[in-house]
Amino acid sequence: MGIHCVVERSNVAALSAHAAFVVERFVTPYRDVAGAPRLRRVVYSLPTRYAEEERYRRGLAPLDLVRPGLSAALRTLRGAGVEGRMLGMGGFPLCAAEDARAERPKQDVSAAERGERVYGRACGDCAVRPGCGGVPTAYFEACGEGGLRPVQAASTTGQGAPAAPGRAL
Ligand code: SF4
């Protein structure tokens, strides 16, 4: 059993409280005989395209607004033994979390998984870009680039610029 939470401007401020509610209402009271939560996961995603383009655009929340609440929600859920996801199809870029490095998947994102998503100018030197799916083009139109938070390389003694897969806006 899982919950899918579409994050919009209208609910972004409530993510932390929502995760606490989920734990109280659905995790704590319902565990199997081994004590594991029956609620297996909560998946957070950006909105997918709506029939009304302007409504979709208005719903996209800047990552600076998403980051604190989404990070708190993931901590709350994971602390309760529930898988908290923010990546994958329709999901967020890695820097939507406060610790983008910790969220980086083991496998790099393939071109097929990336689909039509793009990267901003700020993504060029981001150390986790190969593991990040980028954002929909409409994100930049709705929110600009200010919310992107590129991750610094761990060391400046590497072999030059990191690989920059995917399409830049
Ligand atoms: S700065 Fe760009 S590449 Fe880096 S995590 Fe954010 S969206 Fe992904």
Break the chain into its structural domains and give their ranges: 2-168
Sorting pLDDT into bands at 50, 70 and 90, what band is 48?
confident
| pLDDT of amino acid 39 | 94
pLDDT in tens, 56-101: 899 999 999 999 999 999 999 999 999 999 998 889 999 999 999 9
How many whole angstroms from 31 Cα to the centroid of ligand 1?
37
Can you tell me the distance from the alpha carbon of 5 to that of 11, in angstroms, rounded to the nearest whole number?
10
Atom index in ligand 1 nearest the CA of residue 123 equals: 2
Over residues 13-19, the mean pLDDT reads 98
How many whole angstroms from 43 Cα to the centroid of ligand 1?
19
Residue 44 forms beta bridges with which residues? 5
**Ligand 1 pocket mutation, candidates 70, 103, 126, criterion most atoms within 8 A of CB:** 126
| pLDDT of amino acid 157 | 55
Which of 101, 163, 169 has the alpha carbon at shortest distance from 136?
A: 169
Which of 158, 94, 98, 90 has the alpha carbon at shortest distance from 128?
A: 94
Q: What is the pTM of this model?
A: 0.90
- Cβ within 8 Å of residue 161, ≥6 positions away: 125
**Ligand 1 pocket mutation, candidates 64, 92, 119, 143, criterion most atoms within 8 A of CB:** 119
